[in-house]
């Protein structure tokens, strides 16, 4: 029973990550070839595939599959931190042109959009792969 739960969690997390990575990649390429989300979306695709590989491996060898799942999960955590740093760097008002009144404009809607973007696309994949990986590694033989 627990083996099936790990398999389903990892598979859903991996497939969701692949769909999100493709969505981000295709929309980023449509906006600009130098969009800062192209490279993280490629990494999301790679880490999601790694999570699916770990899910399949966990059926026969839970420890090895769990390690693959955790590598995928913590890689996605690194992407979350990277995108969060991007959002924080956008809030630096010294790089923005001043408005007519002379005070810089802080694009809070852009920062909020990036935070929503992280929560919607990266966080569910991270949570699902992390849960499946921990369950696989901590599984009693």
pLDDT score for 106: 52
Please state which of the ranges 10-14, 39-43, 114-118 shows the lowest mean pLDDT: 114-118
Instruction: Check residue 93 and report its DSSP letter.
Output: G
What are the pLDDT digits (tens) for 13-65? 999 999 988 888 887 776 665 566 778 888 999 999 999 999 999 988 999 99
Provide the token pair at 68.
Answer: 């693959």
**Among candidates 52, 29, 49, 30, which has minimal Cα distance to 39?**
29
CB under 8 Å to 18, separation ≥6 — which residues?
45, 48, 49, 52
**What's the residue count for the chain?**
141
Provide the token pair at 107.
Answer: 């694009």
Domain count, the chain: 1
Cα separation, 86 vs 89, whole angstroms: 5
CB under 8 Å to 113, separation ≥6 — which residues?
none
Contact (CB, 8 A) for 42 and 108: no
Q: In terms of residue numbers, what domain contains 27?
A: 2-137
């Amino acid at each position: 029973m627990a083996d099936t739960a790990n398999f389903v969690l990892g598979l859903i997390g991996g497939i969701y990550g692949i769909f999100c990575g493709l969505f981000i990649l295709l929309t980023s390429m449509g906006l600009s070839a130098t969009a800062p989300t192209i490279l993280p979306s490629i990494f999301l695709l790679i880490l999601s595939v790694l999570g699916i590989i770990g899910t399949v491996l966990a059926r026969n060898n839970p420890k090895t599959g769990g390690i693959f799942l955790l590598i995928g999960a913590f890689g996605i955590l690194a992407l979350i931190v990277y995108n969060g740093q991007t959002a924080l760097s956008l809030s630096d008002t010294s790089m923005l042109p001043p408005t007519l009144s002379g005070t810089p404009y802080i694009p809070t809607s852009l920062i909020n959009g990036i935070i929503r973007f992280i929560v919607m696309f990266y966080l569910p994949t991270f949570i699902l792969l992390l849960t499946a990986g921990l369950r696989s590694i901590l599984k009693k033989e």
